[in-house]
Structure 1
């Protein structure tokens, strides 16, 4: 039995993993879906003060608090940044890291450091408007990503503002991510090639690339296909 720890992307909570978690549990695996501080049911006063290290600590707390070993640690989108940091800190508890169409951490760099000047200016405006929080996206943001109308409605209705500090504070790596056993899942409707930093890490013998012909939110667009990829890791 593998113990899966599933971490959702920006503005999402553990709810985003429900279909995938159900599938993995039906195959006999233990599943822990994480809601990061300041989001979903953990939102509220003080959410704007939640920083990058708190999200790393959230993930480690789930793993150590439940005394998990043989962990497959899965991060989607934004959460690849705290997931990659946490993976380097949990030692022999880790079986594999899985990045699902996600950003990856680089020591001393933040989630937005690779963004263009225009995109960073746009985010700065968002954080001003949201009092330090990244505001949820509207329905058009999810167009062309293989999502049903009901999935888009779910994303729009259940997304919550995201703590801005987690986006702008730098990652701190205790171990190079290229040393860790890693699967990178590239969702092809969100771009056919992994980003340049991911392509560099894929040169590591510890990394593998898996392609999935869907959009950026595969846990909602193709949960069965994503679950199958994760289950296959059990025999890797």
Structure 2
């Protein structure tokens, strides 16, 4: 039995993991899906990147061993929580994300709205971006309707870390290929900073950027198999 802590990306709440959590629980794992401050049922709460890191740490509770899973933006608070939780993290999985280095902000990778404004959710419509939104045919309206504008402060803030070391790491890639990722790691791309080539695995799950919606059973299988 594994203690999973599932952290969603921008605009989403714990609800985004429902279709992944169900098969993991059925397989006997303990699963905690996180709603970060300022989102979903916590909309309106003040939120910072620091408070999002604390949300992840709190979700780990007093478990002696946890596997942290971060999707997209969720990789930043997960990376911060890895440092706080230390040896209690037995493995970390980044879903279309990566263990970014000290000084990184989500804004370095994705454009938001006007400075100071919360970031509105995208359409999720494959007609608008057939790569990013692949697999979401027929679900775009439902997903968009449940999303929350993402707190600007958490997007602009820089992640502050003291230690570059990583625990054993899974990179579950959906909009990248294994070859792309391994080349980026070899080239020292900051998105995958701090990885020891002996301690990471790349798992391909071809789909759009939101495999928890487009391929939830396969994502659960990739996580459970880790």
Contact 1:184 1:208 survives alignment (8 Å) = yes
2:201 maps to which residue?
208
Displacement of 1:24: 0.2
Distance 2:129 2:8 in 1: 16
User: For 2:212, what is the secondary structure of its paired residue?
Assistant: helix
Residue 113 (structure 1) aligned with residue 98 (structure 2): no
Map residues 47-196 of structure 1 onto 2, 5 A cutoff. 47=45, 49-64=46-61, 67-114=62-109, 119=111, 123=112, 126-127=113-114, 132-140=117-125, 143-144=130-131, 145-176=133-164, 178-187=165-174, 190-192=175-177, 193-194=180-181, 196=189
Distance 2:98 2:88 in 1: 23
Per-residue Cα deviation, 1:97-139 (whole angstroms, up to 9, x for no partner): 0000014331122122355xxx4xxx2xx245xx631111124
Contact 1:136 1:159 survives alignment (8 Å) = yes
User: For 1:231, what is the secondary structure of its paired residue?
Assistant: helix
TM-score relative to the length of structure 1 = 0.83
TM-score relative to the length of structure 2 = 0.87
Distance 2:163 2:194 in 1: 14
Count of paired positions: 215
Distance 2:64 2:215 in 1: 28
Q: Which is helix-richer, 1 or 2? A: 1
Residue 42 (structure 1) aligned with residue 42 (structure 2): yes
Root mean square deviation, CA, Å: 2.0
1:8 maps to which residue?
8
Distance 2:42 2:129 in 1: 24
Contact 2:100 2:191 survives alignment (8 Å) = no
2:214 maps to which residue?
221
Distance 2:129 2:217 in 1: 20
Which runs of 5 or more residues in structure 1 are unaligned?
none
Contact 1:72 1:94 survives alignment (8 Å) = yes
